[in-house]
Amino acid sequence: MAKHPTPEEIVAKLRQADVLISQGQSVADAIRALGVSSVTYYRWRREFGGLKSDQVRRMKSLETENARLRKAIADLTLDKLILQEASRGNF
């Protein structure tokens, strides 16, 4: 099973591709040199394209925090609905 690269490793590979392309290699050759599929390359480019390593780390931590807050809101909403039903005597 292949190891998934960290966001920092992805940014490094995208930078490496940029260097190869700026040296005159075709995009296809640069992708081949990275050892990934073109689908993976373009997905990485879309997700991490203009970011630096520290920005990627910050983005990932914000995504984790966002998921945690969404779960907390869902739990609180459920608690509120249960209390509303109980206060109406519908239990």
**Residue 27 CB burial class (10 angstroms; 0-12, 13-18, ≥19):** middle
Give the pLDDT confidence of 52-70 residue by residue, as tens digits. 777 877 888 898 999 999 9
Residues whose CB falls within 8 Å of the CB of residue 22, separated by 6 or more in sequence, listed in order: none
Q: What is the pTM of this model?
A: 0.57
Q: What are 48's two structure tokens?
A: 């991490």
Amino acid at 24: G
Residue that has been written with the tokens 């292949």 in this structure? 2
Nearest Cα residue to 6 out of 45, 75, 53: 53
Give the pLDDT confidence of 7-40 residue by residue, as tens digits. 888 888 999 999 999 999 999 999 999 999 999 9
